Amino acid sequence: MKRAQLPFSLLLAALVWLPSLHRFYVLDGTERERVATGLAAHQAAASAREAPAMRAVNPEWDFMRRTYVVLALANRALARTDERARSLAAIDAIVDATLASADEHGDAHFMLPYARRGPFRDPAAQSLFIDGEIVAMIAARDLVEPRPATRPEALARAARIERAMRASPSLSGESYPDECWTFCNTTALAGLAMLDRAAGTDHARLARDWVAHAKARLVDPETGLLVSSYTWDGRVLDGPEGSSLWMSAHNLLVIDEAFARDQYARARRELGASFFGFGWAREWPEGTPPRPDVDSGPIVPLLQASAGSSGLALLGASAFGDDAWLGALLASLELAGFRDGDDRYRASNDAGDAVLLYALSFGPLWQRVKEPASGPSALLPIGGAR
């Protein structure tokens, strides 16, 4: 009789404890800031170095790590005066090292090998992936404190971005030959929005035109979500993907906030999941055949949780003030990420750490971008840029 009762007792115990398990992994505001402070110190100290092991898997990660660290440190410099000098020094080291590598090795240094498979459809184009994130890095720094040395580089690359996007039937620049990515085009537009605020340029019409085109041509008819990749002339290659959508929605906040919130709400519904206080994100909407790749990361069976989508969902939840789901995502990270004494997660890498740092630091930079340029905190021009 006692043996017969054992399964029932175990089930009852599970029903009692499972709903409370996540409480052991909740990060309150103080603990989140402790993690962010540790990550910021680590990234600032190692700001300009390359990561050979990570580059061997995907050289894009080495480049994108720099972007996320710069955005995170710009946020922290705006919010914490005691970190400003250290953060600006780290940002400058990252930007200078990135520009030096691009000058010495070319854009392909930060790209996957198929960047060399053939020419761009636009013969005058260079990778929007590289141009957009470099503009974003330089402009983010200038939004904290203008730096004359790099402003001309940002303006030149911004002009190249606008020319390339205007020349394309899809109003999009190529990241790779005949391959446009929503992630990269929205990041480029967000970079231009930052530059507009910092330098007095005006790319608002380009942003409006891209959003109008995207709503008409680059949205999945079943889910209403932005597709992730398409050809130069607009033929869809890959449908909605979480590793693209969370970042794209975050970018759209400084381009078209209503569209941004629509995309986040749809992505949250189609890709977001939670169970007993633990959260995760799928890479693809339900019913879409899985296509695991370097962007999606490993896929957890049954749950269909994607490492790439779940990591960037932290940024989405933070950017859109979805604190309940952010807490659930962080609880999952605490459970499965194996945080060590330095407040870093062993299951992550430098790129993942940079995304987490940005998610935990998000806010002041986007607020600065959206301030009226004529307001009391308007930035001073450099070299007659206004």
Q: By three-state DSSP, how is residue 52 classified?
A: helix
For residue 208, how many other CB atoms are within 10 A of its CB?
12
Q: What confidence score (pLDDT) does residue 201 get?
A: 97
How many angstroms separate the Cα of 381 from the Cα of each of 228, 230, 384? 36, 37, 6
What is the rounded distance in angstroms from the CA atom of residue 165 to the CA atom of residue 368? 26
What is the rounded distance in angstroms from the CA atom of residue 238 to the CA atom of residue 288? 11
DSSP assignment, residue 384? Answer: T
Matching residue, tokens 């398990």:
21
What is the rounded distance in angstroms from the CA atom of residue 225 to the CA atom of residue 354? 26
Q: Which tokens sit at 304?
A: 């269909």
Q: What confidence score (pLDDT) does residue 57 get?
A: 78
Q: What confidence score (pLDDT) does residue 47 get?
A: 66
What is the rounded distance in angstroms from the CA atom of residue 320 to the CA atom of residue 140? 20
What is the rounded distance in angstroms from the CA atom of residue 91 to the CA atom of residue 10? 53
Burial string for 291-317 (b: 16+ CB within 10 Å, else e) reads: eeeebbbebeeeebbbbbbbbbbbbbb
What is the rounded distance in angstroms from the CA atom of residue 348 to the CA atom of residue 241? 20
Burial of 138 (0-12, 13-18, 19+ CB in 10 A): buried
Identify the helix (H) or strand (E) that includes residue 189.
Answer: helix 182-199
Q: What confidence score (pLDDT) does residue 248 get?
A: 98
| E strand intervals along 155-206 | 180-181
Q: What is the pLDDT along the chain (386 residues), one digit of tens a residue?
A: 444 544 444 344 434 444 544 554 567 888 889 999 999 998 888 766 667 777 777 889 999 999 999 999 999 999 999 999 999 999 999 999 999 999 999 989 999 999 988 999 999 999 999 999 999 999 999 999 999 999 999 999 999 999 999 999 999 999 999 999 999 999 999 999 999 999 999 999 999 999 999 999 999 999 999 999 999 999 999 999 999 999 999 999 999 999 999 999 999 999 999 988 899 999 999 988 877 776 767 777 778 888 899 999 999 999 999 999 999 999 998 887 667 766 677 777 888 999 999 999 999 999 999 998 654 344 544 443 32
Q: What confidence score (pLDDT) does residue 319 get?
A: 98
